[in-house]
Each structure stands twice: as structure tokens, then as C-alpha cells.
Amino acid sequence: MADPHSHPPAHGTSYDVTKDADTPGGLFAVYLVVLLLFATTFFVSSSGVLGRYALFVQLAIATVQAGVVAYYFMHLRQGDRVVTLTALASVFWTLILFVLFMSDYMTRHRVVTG
Amino acid sequence: MTPTANPRVQGVPGLTPPPPEPPPASPNYLENGTSLWSWLSTVDHKRIGILYLLTISAVFVLGGVAAGLVRLNLVTYNSGILSEDAYNRAFTAHGVLMLFFFLIPAVPAVLGNFLIPMMIGAKDLAFPKLNLASWYVFLVGLVFGAWAILNGGIDTGWTLYPPYSTRGSQSSVVPGVVGVFVSGFSSIMTGLNILVTVHKMRAPGMTWGRLPLFVWSLYATSLIQLLGTPVVAITLILLGVERVTGEGIFDPAIGGDPVLFQHLFWFYSHPAVYIMILPGFGVVSEVITCFSRKNIFGYHAVAWSSMGIAVVGFLLWAHHMFVAGISYYSALLFSFLSMLVAVPSAIKVFNWTATLYRGSITFQAPMLFVIGFIILFTVGGVTGLFLATLGTDIHLHDTYFVVAHFHFVMVGGMVLGYMAGLHFWWPKMTGRMYSDWWSRVSAAIIIVGFFLTFVPQFYIGYHGIPRRYPNYPPEFQIYHVLSTAGASILGLGYLIPALYLPLSLFYGEKAGANPWSATGLEWASPSPPPVFNFDEERMPVVVCGPYEYALGIDQLGRGLPEPPGPGGAEGPAGRAGVTGPAGPMQKETEVVG
Amino acid sequence: MSASTHAHSPVLKHHFNDLGQQHASERLGMWMFLATEVLFFGGVFGAYTCYRLWYPAEFELASSHLNKTFAGINTVLLITSSLTMTLAIRAAKLGDRAGLYRNLLLTFALGAAFMVIKGFEYAEDLHEHIVPGASFGGEIAADTAKHGLDAGKVRLFLCFYYVMTGIHGIHILVGLGVILWLVGQTYIGAIPPENYSTVECASLYWHLVDAIWLFLMPLLYLARGAVHYGH
């Protein structure tokens, strides 16, 4: 778990913030992808073709959208490992909450007999 | 002192002699501005630690008074002193103050704030202004809490379960909820600051495997603060909205499930007990190595068990709800997961015990508190397993057995851990030594008083006396009287440090940089430390693990000064050649990191 | 101007060794704050999921009465504001002050438009009695009765609707305040390229609030998937 920032570089080492500035074209492409996904979820849900799987499809699309936003707009792709770890930790802990909640709410009405 | 006079250096040739006493810092952090404003506007993590210390000490007194009222009332079996309603408000005040405003900030915000940057060799925490903001936010939360109490108090218990808290209760639930909500932000700020600092600001050479275990435990604590607290925040918002508007998602009248509140509440509040206890584990690891003059046994096991507790601690909250009507299958799962958390806790206790084995133990006050901690925590932990077991929990749920169990962990464990840490680092924080004799007396009184208070509660709980009731059958009066007597002794025990610690500021002997002959980086700096913790021209560079007592070197690779305690040939230092670390123990030297 | 910086930049705070460490710390701190936000919303999403599983018909019916047009426009506005916010970081990194102004103000305008539309939507909901509590009534109540569903559980959904969009709205308002502050900082010249991370941190927050909306939109407005109500 070596951390590059715990060892300060020697004085005078240049640190160029312009180096990884985004290109406008790339950002527009990401923007269009997110918009397109939104259009998909909007029209597919309105048409009702998804039936009872609507919730899962919608949530899957939203997750992809959020992932794209996080990776490109929020610069997760440039972040150091611990930033990625933080993002994953928040997802993991939310999953803990959901899974263990469901362990109660999906089995609450099953009565043990005998 | 010549290098060869140090027995440890004698046993290990080629090591550097102990460094000369560093010159006193000028100005030290206490002298850098003495006006009230210089304190209220400080961004120095050490001063903010002191501000927190003063604040939570006041809360501790208030919470203690509430506990005193509860205990006095229970001397008679028919609620002789307080009205039944006042009794409800008294135990709620005790719970809310002690948990949210004392135990949660106790070690992280006082000792953690003060020590984390020093221990990792940084000049300050990563976000000094955020750190100061956290104290002000805490005060705002406290003001709301005080408002709730002065405005008649809250009668729901600290757990605030609906529908009583949203519909039935006529007490100041809303200000109390706001107070807890706001103080949660201060907890998040402290945790976030510590996490970023540990990740990004470690001194050169301070690898993860060389972090003091106090830092590891605070890291784990901060993780829980960061990921758990927001869930209770949204829960309290939902509760507050429901109480104010009269309709909400926990309302059974519209199909809502009050048990859902308990799920959300305990998702935070169960891990919160690890926020309270984990820092205590860290203190124990620091103190026990120093006063045994030994390397910690199983560094990585102790470090990773902290992380294990932080993660597994999130998987078992519903053991508070076994009789609340949750699904049987779910209860079974949570019961199993609850047992699981005993594993990392036991790993720690075994490793501490193994650290004591054949150590040159001295019994100054921090060590006495730590030994008390280990014994009381073990009792508290083992009785926790009774409650994690589905069958026995049906009998023991909401009885005094539960009360005794968590007081063994929270007071017997955490408050003793806090006292140990305070006594251990007091010379560093203030530059003064306190009375050795009085501090030992106080530790002994606290431990005896504690046992007397809570052992009878195990008994009456096992016999079915429910908690939170002001009345009980007369034949149990003797146990309640014993418990109240114990609480009085406990109170006396806390009163003594409240006298000798402040007095030491004026009359105490001046402490050197390293009065306990400990190895951490914080001891390399003069006492009290300078504003930016270290000599800024020579920031520390770490060369070895945190507990090289067997080698007799600190984390900078320098020799250690003569340890305190009974001097001469009778003292542990004099006996070092026979039983001490530099003698037969040498082979157990493990350079970690 | 050259954006390469040295150890003694005026932006560098005393307790950091260099700007790389400072920026990494600020970014990590912001991400950790976002993790708390995820768990904060995660709590109420978890609660929503429990009830949605228990009462699917009522939740879908209630959802179908909300105004999808307003919500759809709002979604587009927020996604666009995320783009302009990211362009603002680029401008800050390159030292393009005019671009920074332009993109910050655009982001502000888009966010403000979101809130205005949200306001109209709330007004319409109130007018049509799409509210929990005693004022519940109108068309949604009639529709509930027509399908033989439980009005209480429809109101339960509406509790979620108001709490979730309300908390999200508060986050947007905070974000708008932060953007205004950034505009002020740009004006006094406090955001040279080596201080771009201030814009980056604000943008991280803004994107998260945007991403939360991307989940709120299908859960609240597009829940009607099964078409048929009833058990």
C-alpha cells in the first residue's frame, strides 16, 4: 500500500496541472451518452414493454449513467487508488444496507411452522 | 547518562544512545496566543483537541448527574424520588448525553485530534478549518440537546423508537433529534479529517506496517463514522418530518413499518458502539506495550482486527431487534453474524495478554486503567454472546442484563480506555506530571466501584427485571441499593482525577519530552509540543516499526531514555538484564514494517 | 501562463509538503464526503425499496400521477449542467478565466432553472391534492379507489416523493450557493490554475447531486412499469 504522496518530491519538482485537462470533444461525447441513456429509460418505461422488470432495467441504466459520470466527469479515471477505493466503499456499504434490509423484508411474511 | 548505562542499549550493541532532551518549544502550542479569541479561532489540531476535552468533560458531568438521579431513584422500589415521567427523562438524558455527546467524540475528537498528526509525523490534520468547524458544529448540536433537556427533556429513551416518538411523546423530541443530527456532522468531519490525514500526510518512512496501532484503530473508527453516521442522519430527518407533519414513512396507519426505523437507526447505532470502543483498543495497544517494555504481540493481527471490526460491525445490527418482529430467517442470519464479531475482539484480547507475558510490567495509572479495561471488556464481550444467541436473547432482551453488558463495554471498556489515554498523554498535552499516587488510587476506586455497580445488574437482569422501569419487586431492592452504592464509589473515583489533573497544571512536576520512555513519534517532540508539532527544519523520518521496546529504539531509530517507575536494582529497569527485554526476550524482537 | 508550480506557491498551505499532496488530499476529502452522501441517500433509497416490494401496485399508481414532463426537462437540465461544470474545471486548469466565468454561470443558470421548474411542479402537485396527509384527494384519490387500492400506501409513496425530492432540492440549493461563491473567487482572482482543485471539489459535489437525480427520476416518476394495478 505504498502511497506516492507520503513521500514528498524534492523541492522544485514541477507539477503541471494542465497535463490532464479534459478535451471538450470527449466531454461532449460523454454528455451525449448520458442523455441517450436517459432517453432510453424514459421512453422504454413509458411504453410499458418492460412489465415487471421495469424497476431493474431502470436501475441498471441509472447505475451505468452514474458510473459514466463518475468515471469521466468526476475524474475517477485520473484519481489515485484510494479515491477509487472510497467510491467503491460507498457502493459496497450501500449494498450491505440493501442486502440485509432485504433479508428481513423479503422473508418477513414467511411464518415458521411446526 | 552514558549510553552503556541503558540496559537495553547494553544488550544490543551498535545502537544509538538516547537523544538529549530536546529544548522546550518556544513558543509551544499553549503559549502561541493566550487570549480567549486565540483559542476560539485556532486551527491547531492540538488546541481543538483541548477544546473538545473541556466540552466533553462538561457533558460527562451532566450525563453523570442524570445517571446519579436514575440510580438514586432506584434505591426505592416504588420510584420514591422522581415522578415516573421525570425518571424517563432522566435516563434518556443520560443516554443521549453520554452516547452522542461524550463517548462518540471522547477519544477520536480529543486524543485522536491531538495525537494523529503527531504520531504520523505531520504538521496538522489535512483540513484544519474543517476541524475547528467540527467543534463549533458539535457545540450547536449540544445547544439543541441542552434545549431539549431544559425544555422538559425527552422521554423516549435514547433510541427514539416510533410510533411513540412520533405520536405519543409529549416531550421535546424535535430539538433532541436536531441536536443528535447536528452533532453527527461534527463526528463525520472529525472522521473524514483523520482518514485523509492518515492516507496523505504520513512522514517519510511511515508505511502502513509501521503505523502505531492507535492510528490503525482511529482509522477504523473514522471509517465507521464516515459510512454509518449519514444513515442515522437521514433516519432522524425522516423521524423529524413525521413528527412535525403528522404523517411519514414509519407510520403504521398508512402501511408504514416502525421496525424500519429500528433497522435504519441500528445500521448506524450498532456500528457506533465500535466508534466508541475501537479507539479504546488503540489506547490499550499503546499503553500495554510501553508499560510492559515489549513489542506488541501480533502487530498485524491487532491492526487488521480493527479493520475487521469496522466492516463486520456493519453486518449485525438487527440483534437489537430479535424480539421486534423481524423475519425469523433474518434473525438467524444476524445472530450468526453477531457471533462473528467476537472473533476480532478476542484476537485483540489474546494479543494483549501475550504482550504482557514476561514483560517488565510497571503499574502506573495508565497501565492500571488498561488492565481494568481488558478485564471489564472481556466480561462485557462474553456476555454479549448471550445476547447474540436467539434463544437466550428472548429471555434477556431489555433487562438489566443488557444494561450491565453494555456498561461493561462502554464504561468498563471505553471510559477506562479514555482515562488510560488521558493519563498516558497528559504529560505530552500539558507538559506536567500528575500525582502518581492519587492517579493509582483513582484507578483502583473506579474499577472497584464499577464492579459493585454493574455485577448486581447482571443478576437482577437474569432474573427478569426489565430496564427503564422505575418500579420493581421489593425483594430486588438490595441489589439496586448495592448498585447505587457502587455508582457512588464510581463517582468518587471520577472526582479524584477531576481534582489532581487540573492541579497538576499548577503544581505538577515538569514532564520531559518522553516521560514514559515510549517509542512513538509524538514523544520525540518537546512537551508541550511546538505549534507545528516538530522542528520544521527537521521533520521526522521513520526508520522502524512503532513498538521496538526490545531493541530499545524509538521510531526515529534513537535510543530510549530510562523508563519511569521504581528505580534502582529493584525496579524493572534495574532488573532488565534478568527478565527485561534486552535479556532473554531479545529473540522475540520483530521489526515490523 | 505556465501552470507548473513550485513548492512555495501562495496557494500551498503550510501543513502540506507540496501542491500535489494538497490537491490529492482535497480530492480525497471531497470523495469521502461524497461517500457519506451516498450512504445518506442510500438510507432513504433502502426504505423506498422495502415498501416498493411490499406495495408495488400503490407505488406504481402514485408514480403515474406525477408530472413526467417537468421531471424529464429537469433531468436534461441537470445532465447539461454536469457538462458545463466539467468544462469549468478544464477552463480553471488552463487558466482561461473567461471560460471559467461562462461555464460557472451557465451551470448556475441550469441549476436555478431546475429549481424553478421544481417549484412549478410542487405547486401543481399541491393544486391537484397529490400530497400525503389530510389534503390528499382529487383525481389521484379517485383513481386509487377505482383500482381498489389502499389510499394510505399511496400517501406513503408521496411521503417518499416529497422527502426525497425535497432533500435533493436542498442539495441543489447548496450547490448553487457554492457555484456563486466560486464566481466570486474567480472575480477576486483566487482561482489560478494551481488552485483548480477548488473548482474540482465543487464539481464533484455537483455531479453527485446530479447522479442522485438520475436514480430519483426512474424510482419516483417512471415506476409505472407493470401497467396493471391490483394484486
Residue C4 forms part of a structural domain: no
Nearby residues of B23 by Cβ (< 8 Å), 6 or more positions away? B526
Q: Is the pLDDT of residue B430 over 90?
A: yes
Q: How many whole angstroms separate alpha carbon B137 and alpha carbon B183?
A: 6
Amino acid present at C178? V
Q: How far is CA B229 from CA A87, B192, B317, C127, in A?
A: 17, 12, 14, 37
What's the CATH code, domain B39-588? 1.20.210.10
The whole-angstrom distance between C98's CA and the closest CA on chain B is: 30
Q: Taking CA atoms, what residue in A is nearest to C226?
A: A51
Please check whether residue B376 is in contact with residue B443, taking contact to mean a CB–CB distance below 8 angstroms.
Answer: no
Specify the residue for cell string 471489564: B376
Provide the pLDDT for residue B196: 97
What is the tens place of the pLDDT at every residue in B509-543? 999 999 999 999 999 999 999 999 998 888 999 99
Tell me what the pLDDT averaged over chain B comes to. Answer: 91
Q: How many whole angstroms separate alpha carbon B419 and alpha carbon B399?
A: 28
Are B257 and C36 within 8 A, CB to CB?
no
The whole-angstrom distance between A81's CA and the closest CA on chain B is: 11
The whole-angstrom distance between C64's CA and the closest CA on chain B is: 19
Please check whether residue B27 is in contact with residue B531, taking contact to mean a CB–CB distance below 8 angstroms.
Answer: yes
Average pLDDT over residues C109-114: 97
Q: What are phi and psi of A42, to 5 degrees?
A: -65, -50
Are B249 and C43 within 8 A, CB to CB?
no
Average pLDDT over residues B414-438: 95
Counting as contact any 3 or more CB pairs under 8 A, the partners of B are: A, C
Q: Report the CATH number at residue C107.
A: 1.20.120.80
Q: Is the pLDDT of residue C1 over 70?
A: no
Instruction: Give the distance, in angstroms, between the CA of residue C182 and the centroid of all CA atoms in the same chain.
Output: 18
Angle, helix C151-187 to helix C19-54, in steps of 10 degrees: 170
Please check whether residue A41 is in contact with residue A62, taking contact to mean a CB–CB distance below 8 angstroms.
Answer: yes
Q: How many whole angstroms separate alpha carbon C66 and alpha carbon C128?
A: 10
Q: How many whole angstroms separate alpha carbon B199 and alpha carbon A1?
A: 10
Q: Is the pLDDT of residue B587 over 70?
A: no
Residue C139 forms part of a structural domain: yes
Nearest to C124 by CA among C72, C77, C66, C164: C66
What is the tens place of the pLDDT at every residue in B453-487? 999 999 999 999 999 999 999 999 999 999 999 99
B210 touching A (Cβ < 8 Å) = no
Average pLDDT over residues C48-59: 92
Q: How many residues are listed for chain B in this entry?
A: 593
User: Of A50-54, B43-47, B166-170, B288-292, where does mean pLDDT reach its minimum?
Assistant: A50-54
Burial of B585 (0-12, 13-18, 19+ CB in 10 A): buried
Are A17 and C194 within 8 A, CB to CB?
yes
The DSSP annotation for B481-536 comes to HHHHHHHHHHHHHHHHHHHHHHHHHHHSPBP-S-TT---SGGGGS-SSPBTTSS-T
Q: Within B293-327, where are the H helices?
A: 299-312
Q: E strand or H helix at B14, and its extent?
A: none
Amino acid present at B353? T
Nearest to C2 by CA among A12, A18, A13, A9: A18
What is the tens place of the pLDDT at every residue in B439-455? 999 999 999 999 999 99
Provide the pLDDT for residue A110: 81
Q: How many whole angstroms separate alpha carbon B361 and alpha carbon B410?
A: 26
Q: What are phi and psi of A15, to 5 degrees?
A: -135, 110
Q: How many whole angstroms separate alpha carbon B162 and alpha carbon B137?
A: 27
Please check whether residue B25 is in contact with residue B529, taking contact to mean a CB–CB distance below 8 angstroms.
Answer: yes
All cell numbers assigned to A70: 463518475
Q: How many whole angstroms separate alpha carbon C81 and alpha carbon C203?
A: 10
Provide the pLDDT for residue B542: 95
Q: E strand or H helix at C4, and its extent?
A: strand C4-5
Does residue B579 sit in helix, strand or coil?
A: coil
Of residues B163 and B5, the one with the higher pLDDT is: B163
Counting as contact any 3 or more CB pairs under 8 A, the partners of C are: A, B
Q: Is the pLDDT of residue C2 over 80?
A: no
Q: Which residues of B44-65 are buried (b: 16+ CB within 10 A; e: fewer)?
A: bbbbbbbbbbebbeebbebbbe
Provide the pLDDT for residue A56: 82
What is the tens place of the pLDDT at every residue in B317-333? 999 999 999 999 999 99
| Domain residue ranges of chain A, discontinuous segments joined by + | 22-74, 80-107
Nearest to B108 by CA among B8, B183, B158: B183
Structural domain containing residue C62: 21-221
What is the tens place of the pLDDT at every residue in B539-563? 999 999 999 998 889 999 998 988 8
**Torsion sign across C-alpha atoms B67, B69, B70, B74:** positive
Please check whether residue B364 is in contact with residue B440, taking contact to mean a CB–CB distance below 8 angstroms.
Answer: yes
Would the pTM count as exceeding 0.90? yes
Provide the pLDDT for residue B574: 43
Give me the percent of chain B exceeding a pLDDT of 70. Answer: 92
Q: How many residues are listed for chain A in this entry?
A: 114
Are A27 and C87 within 8 A, CB to CB?
yes
Residue C79 forms part of a structural domain: yes
Provide the pLDDT for residue C190: 87
Average pLDDT over residues B217-226: 97
Average pLDDT over residues C123-137: 93
Cα torsion B100, B106, B108, B111 to 10°: value is 170
CB atoms within 10 A of CB B389: 16
B234 touching C (Cβ < 8 Å) = yes
Q: What are phi and psi of B518, to 5 degrees?
A: -95, 165
Provide the pLDDT for residue B576: 45
Residue C132 is given by DSSP the state S
Provide the pLDDT for residue B369: 97
Please check whether residue B157 is in contact with residue B92, taking contact to mean a CB–CB distance below 8 angstroms.
Answer: yes
Q: Is the pLDDT of residue B592 over 90?
A: no
Nearest to C5 by CA among C131, C95, C117: C95
The DSSP annotation for B74-87 comes to TTSTB--SS-HHHH
Residue B579 pLDDT grade (very low, low, confident, very high; cuts 50, 70, 90): very low
Nearby residues of B35 by Cβ (< 8 Å), 6 or more positions away? none
Provide the pLDDT for residue B180: 96
Provide the pLDDT for residue C8: 62
Of residues B592 and C28, the one with the higher pLDDT is: C28
With beta carbons under 8 A apart, name residues in chain A contacting B593.
Answer: none
DSSP helix, strand, coil percent of chain C (3-state; round to 5): 75, 0, 20
Average pLDDT over residues B213-224: 97
Give me the percent of chain C exceeding a pLDDT of 90. Answer: 80
Give me the percent of chain B exceeding a pLDDT of 90. Answer: 84
Give the residues across from B471 on adjacent strands: B78
Q: Which residue among A17, A73, A83 sits closest to C3, beta carbon to beta carbon?
A: A17
Q: How many whole angstroms separate alpha carbon B400 and alpha carbon B458?
A: 6
What is the tens place of the pLDDT at every residue in C96-111? 999 999 999 999 999 9
Q: How many residues are listed for chain C in this entry?
A: 231
Residue B313 is given by DSSP the state T
All cell numbers assigned to B171: 416531550
Provide the pLDDT for residue B562: 83
Residue C157 forms part of a structural domain: yes
Are C93 and A21 within 8 A, CB to CB?
yes
Nearest to C193 by CA among C96, C86, C92: C92
Amino acid present at B54? L
Provide the pLDDT for residue C226: 52
With beta carbons under 8 A apart, name residues in chain B contacting A88.
Answer: none
B314 touching A (Cβ < 8 Å) = yes
CB-hemisphere CA count at 13 Å for C163?
Answer: 29
Residue B582 pLDDT grade (very low, low, confident, very high; cuts 50, 70, 90): very low
All cell numbers assigned to A57: 432495467
Amino acid present at B287? V
Please check whether residue C12 is in contact with residue A66, taking contact to mean a CB–CB distance below 8 angstroms.
Answer: no
What is the tens place of the pLDDT at every residue in B352-379? 999 999 999 999 999 999 999 999 999 9
* Structural domains counted in chain C: 1
Q: Is the pLDDT of residue A20 over 90?
A: no
Provide the pLDDT for residue B263: 97
Are A82 and B199 within 8 A, CB to CB?
yes
Counting as contact any 3 or more CB pairs under 8 A, the partners of A are: B, C
Amino acid present at C26? E
Are C47 and B200 within 8 A, CB to CB?
no
Does residue A15 sit in helix, strand or coil?
A: strand
Specify the residue for cell string 530510549: B560
Are A112 and B328 within 8 A, CB to CB?
yes
Are A41 and C222 within 8 A, CB to CB?
yes
Are B202 and A93 within 8 A, CB to CB?
no
The whole-angstrom distance between B327's CA and the closest CA on chain A is: 4
